[in-house]
């Protein structure tokens, strides 16, 4: 049985864990993303969590390290510049972990990582065409088409958070107006609705669901997809109200014969999705899956 060391880099927290090749989480530790923070402070947190995860797992041999990080990034060079973590710009995360752990390290965007986890172990297991998404501090995702995870020119395919959903919408962290992430992410809810997402009203939950459904509808028709699995603290925390609103909007706006049956459902791996996803980056690359 192989075990993978996994690192999940998010705008709110970093997570480290050891995950088995069957998708079982053997150990998991997390710490809040320091803000504001220098590149060195962020690296120290990542390093500490990874060592702690190995120690707590009792596992003696790690097959490889998998990382899911907020984007954008340069996959070829292994550099990360997470939009929600200003302290890291072109930070050499892959080579830093390679040196620290003397292991093979596989890096990908957190949305794509979650997608791999859901495809291998979660709600989309056995499915050849689907999108998985995170609606959390930010909004990201990954696309599996014809059984392959799409990468794009620099590896950034799947940034569904920057699909435009509102003509005169909010200013997004990317500089554009009306991106899905600027309308429905945890950051947007705090900034533009003035409330902690955990205390969101029914109306805000519905509004966010509608925006996500709207963004997804365009993708369903564009790519001939009928399954969208959605995780992240905001979506899962909002629950049924959010998913019902998203489904209503999706069904209303994707009307082609092949997209009108598209479904939007919660992820199968729940809160462990991101860390299993990060491990899945290493597992899938080593075994040539997706």
Footprint on this chain of Zn ion (rule: CB under 5 A): 162, 172, 174, 176, 179
Which residue, 162 or 253, has its beta carbon nearer to Zn ion?
162
> Using the 8-state DSSP alphabet, how is residue 286 labeled?
H
Which residue, 145 or 176, has its beta carbon nearer to Zn ion?
176
Closest to 281 in 3D by CA, of 120, 101, 125: 120
Q: How far is the CB of 161 from Zn ion (least distance, A)?
A: 7
Which residue, 26 or 176, has its beta carbon nearer to Zn ion?
176
* Spatial separation of the C-alpha atoms in residues 218 and 187, rounded to whole Å: 23
Q: How far is the CB of 204 from Zn ion (least distance, A)?
A: 20
Alpha helices in 224-272 (DSSP H): 233-238, 240-253
Q: How far is the CB of 194 from Zn ion (least distance, A)?
A: 21
Q: How far is the CB of 94 from Zn ion (least distance, A)?
A: 25
Which residue, 103 or 177, has its beta carbon nearer to Zn ion?
177
Phi, psi of 21 (to 5 degrees): -65, -15
Q: How far is the CB of 212 from Zn ion (least distance, A)?
A: 14
Which residue, 94 or 162, has its beta carbon nearer to Zn ion?
162
Which residue, 139 or 282, has its beta carbon nearer to Zn ion?
139
* Spatial separation of the C-alpha atoms in residues 284 and 168, rounded to whole Å: 40
* Spatial separation of the C-alpha atoms in residues 220 and 64, rounded to whole Å: 34
Contact 93, 110 (CB under 8 A): no
- Token pair of 32, please? 């809040």
- Token pair of 54, please? 């190995």
* Spatial separation of the C-alpha atoms in residues 225 and 265, rounded to whole Å: 13
* Spatial separation of the C-alpha atoms in residues 215 and 225, rounded to whole Å: 13
E strand or H helix at 52, and its extent? helix 39-57
Q: Measuring CA to CA, how many Å separate 137 from each of 55, 165, 189, 196, 251?
A: 29, 18, 9, 11, 26
Q: How far is the CB of 218 from Zn ion (least distance, A)?
A: 15
Q: How far is the CB of 191 from Zn ion (least distance, A)?
A: 13
Which residue, 129 or 164, has its beta carbon nearer to Zn ion?
164
């Amino acid at each position: 049985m192989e075990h993978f060391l996994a690192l999940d880099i998010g705008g709110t927290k970093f997570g480290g864990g050891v995950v088995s090749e069957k998708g079982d989480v053997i150990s998991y530790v997390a710490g809040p993303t320091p803000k504001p923070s220098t590149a060195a402070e962020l690296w120290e947190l990542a390093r500490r969590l990874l060592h702690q995860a190995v120690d707590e797992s009792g596992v003696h041999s790690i097959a490889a390290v998998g990382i899911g990080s907020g984007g954008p990034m340069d996959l070829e060079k292994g550099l990360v510049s997470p939009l929600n973590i200003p302290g890291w710009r072109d930070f050499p995360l892959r080579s830093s972990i390679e040196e620290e752990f003397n292991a093979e390290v596989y890096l990908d965007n957190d949305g794509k990582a979650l997608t791999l986890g859901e495809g291998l172990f979660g709600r989309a297991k056995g499915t050849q065409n689907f999108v998985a998404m995170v609606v959390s501090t930010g909004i990201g995702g990954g696309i599996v088409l014809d059984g392959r995870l799409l990468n794009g020119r620099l590896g950034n395919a799947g940034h569904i958070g920057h699909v435009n959903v509102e003509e005169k919408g909010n200013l997004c962290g990317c500089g554009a107006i009306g991106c899905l992430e600027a309308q429905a992410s945890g950051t947007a809810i705090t900034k533009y609705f003035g409330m902690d997402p955990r205390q969101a009203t029914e109306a805000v939950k519905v509004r966010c669901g509608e925006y996500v459904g709207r963004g997804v509808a365009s993708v369903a028709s564009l790519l001939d997809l009928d399954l969208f699995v959605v995780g992240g603290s905001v979506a899962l925390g909002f629950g049924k109200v959010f998913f019902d609103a998203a489904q209503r909007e999706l069904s209303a706006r994707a009307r082609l014969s092949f997209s009108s049956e598209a479904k939007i459902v919660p992820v199968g791996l729940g809160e462990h999705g991101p860390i299993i996803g990060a491990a899945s980056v290493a597992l899938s690359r080593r075994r040539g899956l997706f």
